[in-house]
Chain A
Amino acid sequence: RKEVEQDPGPFNVPEGATVAFNCTYSNSASQSFFWYRQDCRKEPKLLMSVYSSGNEDGRFTAQLNRASQYISLLIRDSKLSDSATYLCVVIWTTGNQFYFGTGTSLTVIP
């Protein structure tokens, strides 16, 4: 089993739609969680950290479910500019062991 598994996608949604991605992790000792956004031919950029209590940043909401070992990213009112690949990153308690999901491709359609 992979350390981190992510929804395969691709997701093609109309503008204004709400879309959610999940990412499951295998190591219960995982400590830190992040969502990154990667545009085509660019490096990943931090979108948001994921906190235990869940957190929101504008149209983006991140949640962590430790019992079921998954994190989620919810995007409300999708914009064309949200089109990108979204990567989840899980860091283990040792601090330098981290794992990426394979990424979920999102295309927001006019």
Chain B
Amino acid sequence: GAVVSQHPSWVICKSGTSVKIECRSLDFQATTMFWYRQFPKQSLMLMATSNEGSKATYEQGVEKDKFLINHASLTLSTLTVTSAHPEDSSFYICSARDGGGSSYNSPLHFGNGTRLTVT
């Protein structure tokens, strides 16, 4: 089945540093990938839609200059949390759909998530 790989699984960094998270579709091409954030005991929140070869689409309230998204190829999207602060500590998850979203019955496949702790 379709697999989405996310790296790293967890990261601890100091306040002010930047952290890059990678999301790869391993056996399919994804023109679109999605980035989420989930705080403890809360639901998934879509942060942005990453589009291969073009700018990402950010959800309302998500700072595009803080959360930089790059989707340089059909199998890789990256999320960089710039100048991270403790309030950015969260569980970040990516997802993608096989077929690039053209198949309505294709489910979303999620990466294993990245637990970010900013000290």
Which chain A residues have a beta carbon within 8 Å of chain B's beta carbons?
Answer: 31-32, 34, 36, 41-46, 49, 87, 89, 91, 93, 95-96, 98, 100-103
Contact = CB atoms under 8 A, between A and B. Distances in A.
17 contacts: A31-B104, A41-B115, A42-B113, A43-B112, A44-B44, A44-B93, A44-B110, A87-B43, A87-B44, A89-B107, A89-B108, A95-B102, A96-B32, A100-B46, A101-B43, A102-B43, A103-B44
A38 to B, nearest CB: 8
Given A45-B110, A46-B108, 18 more contacts: A32-B105, A32-B107, A41-B115, A42-B113, A43-B6, A43-B93, A44-B108, A46-B107, A46-B109, A49-B105, A49-B107, A89-B107, A89-B108, A95-B101, A95-B102, A95-B104, A96-B49, A103-B44
A100 B43 contact: yes
- 10 closest residue pairs by CB, A with B: A43-B110, A102-B43, A95-B101, A96-B101, A43-B113, A31-B104, A32-B104, A46-B107, A34-B107, A43-B93
Interface of B: 6, 32, 43-44, 46, 49, 91, 93, 97, 101-113, 115
Contacts of B32: 96
